[in-house]
A and B are shown apart, each in its own frame.
Chain A
């Protein structure tokens, strides 16, 4: 989706002569912007040209591989129009020593966490960023781990597969070669006993800063309290933490704290071969593995060109699986939203019951209930076994529609659900776009943006379905929109099951290694949580040079503070439930 078609982009270079230049590297299709003019260009793009949705911000470390090459960091932006269309890719380059880039957070608040992530992992300073702190690693961690010249303690070789795992036939355990027997490393002269961790101060400072006016009306005899929810808390859906500043019971500031499940997905991904990464994508958002597979497959297929075009049958299988995944994820989300409302586990039991039936289909087809590792470049790993397609047909025509109606009947007009959800955590359409919200979050705020329609991929154009949209932008609408989307997905699967053609499920042979030409690609799909995108840079070798995930759960959290200010602690739990985060994806 990086093709540059519309004429406007021609004018972009004309409008900023010498500032914006077309990216001439082979396989790249974006624009390179002069570092100090970035804000200016972005302002014009947002206000005059309609690129109001900043989807992804990430950095790439182009460390020189040969003598005559230059080393630099590049920050890459993917911009879209909220009315649909393909991406505009911008890149700025900054030297590797003292890297600094103007922050786009004042223009696009949705960049806040993404820029913090680039700072955390690459050490790039974003000038004018309101809250420049580490986000995934803790304050005090040594080094910027995603830099190509930073090595972790268990580092063995630059790329996989490693030469020999069992030298001399002996079992090889890397921990045996570390002095402390763990994957730890310490700088020279480090004295553990005089170390004092300073992690929390920065966080609390930032909490108080975002409420700076408060200190000035000090004559009132009140005190604000900081409350920490999590990381071990039953309502945070995993290991997520929120530091909340409260005035009485009202929230005045809130900072999400994440990274408790930061599993170094991207660092490991850049060492893996392209195919190696497929099972890792399963573990991003582990409720929607097949959607994640889809996005990654699209990104790499785009780089592969003609060799990576999936067969017709494969496209149908992909759509069926992705939509079933959406159904199961939304069921789960609804069940656990009710959990957060205090209806402990009973509604979830209903939701999980249906999800198990879908998992049975996944297990029969892919071999695993959750970690499916099913997509391949140019198709899928295997066809449906006998009887499964009929079973899917049965489910989507007989059982699921009735069960969704049942959930609807039990919950939608329940008085407690309505009073606790209506008007809570409101996000207006403009705010939703500003904060780069995606998926149900965006559509519940009245923005009918669905990647399946706005920038169609695979064969979604051939199906008849509506983009669900609701207009209040509160928790209740986010619940309703999930029900709507389940119904639309059922419609899609019904059509797909009827029309699926015979044929091969994979183009060519199931490869052990794929050849991926040099270049960059951004593959994105409409996942159940929102737009999940994979930014892949290849330099023609067997491993991706850069592998980045645009994680919808992570970016959707940017607006959490906005949605929570002014409400009560009990509502925070509900708002968080309505965002439907999965920590594997938030922290990666």
Chain B
């Protein structure tokens, strides 16, 4: 967290009556304060980690203390996507589509080993080894599954990240839509449209696959 802003900075002429009621701060700070205490995660469970996410929302760990208890089933209303579990190739197109549907500003948290890098199932033929190969991730929470405490820590890191947002220096031209991430296609294997050229080159003289160099 950033230090508490010294609101009534010297040099500004504030009448004594107003002093208790008026605060002067920056737009960034007021924006970010609003955002950090009302991050609405998407209600979206993938695997085992989702159970710990639900536990974190329940009585003992109580996400509401952070203003995050409003889990939204619709991506259009959420700010944070918690990728809570193993991302499979079959599910990936939907995840990317959900990400594209979320309004800006949006954050993604990779919860657990699976979402971060494939976890115990990394070598699986239907498993995506890390959701960050397709969508940008802001915070990684390690664990299998991360305990609710670890998840809360990750959420606090998201809040810290929100605190650093600059609304004027990093101003995005809002008249233009954000470029959506191309949605992968289910082919003989999952196809990322960004890989078209590599794939076309790779399959010319044989199947394209991993080639492990010989170990001496």
Q: A residues bordering B, Cβ < 8 Å?
A: 136-138, 140-142, 145, 151-156, 163-164, 167-168, 174-175, 177-193, 195, 197, 199, 231-234, 238-239, 259-265, 267-268, 271, 279-280, 283, 286-287, 348-349, 352-353, 356, 369-371, 583-584
Contacts and interface: CB of A to CB of B under 8 A. Distances in A.
Contacts of A151: 209
B142 to A, nearest CB: 14
Contact of B73 (A140, A168, A234, A267): A234
Given A182-B133, A197-B187, A349-B59, A238 B45 contact: yes
B159 interface: no
Given A186-B187, A191-B200, A583-B47, 6 more contacts: A140-B186, A145-B125, A179-B201, A186-B208, A197-B186, A267-B124
A192 B90 contact: no
B211 A356 contact: no
Give the secondary structure class of B's interface: loop
Interface of B: 43-48, 50-52, 54-55, 58-60, 73, 85-86, 88, 90-91, 94, 98, 118, 120-129, 133, 144-145, 147, 185-193, 195-196, 198-213, 215-216
Give the secondary structure class of A's interface: loop
B195 to A, nearest CB: 5
A177 B213 CA distance: 8
Contacts of A234: 43, 73
A175 B129 contact: yes
Given A153-B189, A191-B200, A193-B196, A260 B124 contact: no
Nearest to B187: A195
A95 B67 CA distance: 61
Contact of B91 (A188, A239, A369): A239
A199 B198 CA distance: 24
Given A183-B125, A370-B52, A137 B210 contact: no
Nearest to A186: B208
A178 B209 contact: yes
B123 A183 contact: yes
Contact of A267 (B120, B125, B206): B125
A369 B149 CA distance: 12
Contacts of B208: 179-180, 184-186, 190
7 contacts: A177-B213, A182-B192, A184-B192, A186-B188, A193-B196, A271-B123, A283-B47
A137 B129 contact: no
A151 to B, nearest CB: 8
Given A155-B123, A287-B51, A140 B58 contact: no
A155 B45 CA distance: 29
Most B CB within 10 A of own CB, among A279, A283, A353: A283
B123 A156 contact: yes
A357 B123 CA distance: 35
